[in-house]
Copies of this chain bind each other. A is one copy, B any other.
Amino acid sequence: MQRLLKEITPRTEDYSQWYLDVINKADLMDYAPVRGFMVIKPYAYRVWELIQAYMDARFQETGHQNAYFPLLIPESLFKREAQHVEGFSPEVAWVTQGGSEELSERLAIRPTSETITGIMYAKWIQSYRDLPVLINQWCNVLRWEKATRPFVRPREFLWQEGHTVHRTEADAREETQRMLNIYVDTLRDVLAIPALSGEKSERERFAGAVETWALEALMGDGRALQAATSHFLGQNFARVFEIDFLDEDGERRLGWTTSWGASIRLIGALIMVHGDDRGLRLPPRVAPIQVVVVPIAAGPQREQVLDAARQAGAEIGEIGGLRVHVDDRQEYTPGWKFNDWEMRGVPVRVEIGPRDLAQGQVVLVRRDTGEKAVVPRNQLALRVRELLDDVQEGLYQQALSWRDSHTYTVSSVDEILAHDVRGFFKSGLCAESACEDRLQTATGATLRVLEAGEPEGACLVCGAPAVRRAVFARAY
């Protein structure tokens, strides 16, 4: 697992190659034998666990419970909701043989679980007293994509999917927004990513949903990435799967359902929003290692420096409660280690050498800006903690300023082209989905979200009066 530390492709030279280089050099994943499948290596998996921990706590706090639904869905069940099957069929992997037997019916490997939760909920729910049902699951799903990309669009990914049933439309709508907001919080507070949220247009809507709400984040190359979605499914799935209940007034009524999900794609977002030409930059809240201590230990004071580094590590870890690693490997130079931990995005580096020892100080280096500070040794734990907060905030501010400086209000297609289709483009839009198509043909940009508020001016494509406020971008 030893990695050679070579230069990575600069972001400006070839962004896609830079992305793959970072993933490789930071030891995040490897390609599996089946095309489009990946192995998530321990370092990236730990990031995922940290994201999970935050989201899971928020789900619990809002009354959700975890459960586990099966991987395989009979074709007949999968096909019940017409729009749903139309949307997902091209991407489904099918099991046709179990052991030595040919199956009489093909089984879909779940691309998402609305159909299987639907049929189970129909069985479980009898009365209004059984509502709401608020269940989430953490699992793997498969989508047989043609163009794949590590983390962002693999054929198998890890995610969570929430599936809820409510007594009233208002409750289901409220849930849709509540979960969307938890995703907004996750991105902002944990991943240090400012996101744009809003409703999807009909064209970009989840197959089977009445409304799809989404978070869009702006990557370092000016393309958008859909980071999470929350769907108001109305009574579409309830009708098809007969999720009904006896209401308090003795009437039998259909339930209202929602679903919402976020995936390991968030790691792709982390890389592309925060990464630079030296590699990853991880927000402290999701950094497997928040602080690395590197002893600069040559000469006669070698052992003393190593001891001091280990002591500093213990202090930061045990007293400070931080995730710390002391890199006391002897086969590498300090310079090599600096590069290595920068590549892996560790937010704060502590350097300790003989001179620091003599002067009762340590050197702190923050990954986001590269800034160095010499601080008294006896303030180490305190200053490291402050610095981590600064890095978390610094990464967010930098991402925010990138997004804001690449968000344009436009009134023509040409303006989008003038910006090389890099950024978020806000404009009025008419009601015709043909205009979305035409814009995509001309620019490659798609409608990412519709924003709230009164539209102004004309449709940027056809010039008719605007009825929607749209945000366009080229997207991953």
Binary flags per residue of A125-167, CB closer than 8 Å to B gives 1, else 0? 1110110010100011010101000000001101000000000
Which of B74, B89, B130 is the one whose CB lies under 8 Å from A2? B130
Asked whether A34 lies within 8 Å of B72 as measured between CB atoms, the reply is: yes
Report the Cα distance A32→B116, complex, angstroms. 8
Binary flags per residue of A90-126, CB closer than 8 Å to B gives 1, else 0? 1111111111110000110100000010011001111
Given contacts A2-B126, A73-B33, A127-B2, contact A94 B96 (CB under 8 A): yes
Within 8 A of B (CB), among A37-82: 37-42, 45-46, 49, 65-74, 77
Asked whether A70 lies within 8 Å of B37 as measured between CB atoms, the reply is: yes
Asked whether B107 lies within 8 Å of A99 as measured between CB atoms, the reply is: no
A30 at the interface (CB under 8 A from B): yes
Contacts of A42 in B (CB 8 A): 65-67, 135
Asked whether A109 lies within 8 Å of B95 as measured between CB atoms, the reply is: yes
Chain A interface helix/strand/loop/mixed: mixed
Asked whether B96 lies within 8 Å of A68 as measured between CB atoms, the reply is: no
Least CB distance, A152 to chain B, in whole angstroms: 16
Given contacts A1-B124, A94-B97, A95-B94, contact A46 B65 (CB under 8 A): yes
Given contacts A77-B33, A116-B33, contact A38 B70 (CB under 8 A): yes
Given contacts A33-B77, A120-B30, contact A66 B46 (CB under 8 A): yes
Asked whether A70 lies within 8 Å of B125 as measured between CB atoms, the reply is: no
Which of B40, B70, B127, B156 is the one whose CB lies under 8 Å from A156? B70
A65's closest neighbor in chain B, by CB?
B42
Report the Cα distance A144→B116, complex, angstroms. 20
Report the Cα distance A37→B74, complex, angstroms. 11
Within 8 A of B (CB), among A336-382: none
Q: List 6 A-B contacts (CB under 8 A).
A: A30-B120, A32-B120, A45-B66, A45-B68, A71-B109, A96-B96
Known: A2-B129, A2-B130, A33-B116. 8 other contacts (CB 8 A): A2-B127, A30-B120, A32-B69, A39-B69, A40-B67, A45-B65, A70-B156, A99-B146
User: Which are the 7 A-B pairs with shortest beta-carbon distances?
Assistant: A42-B65, A40-B68, A99-B144, A37-B70, A94-B97, A98-B144, A32-B70
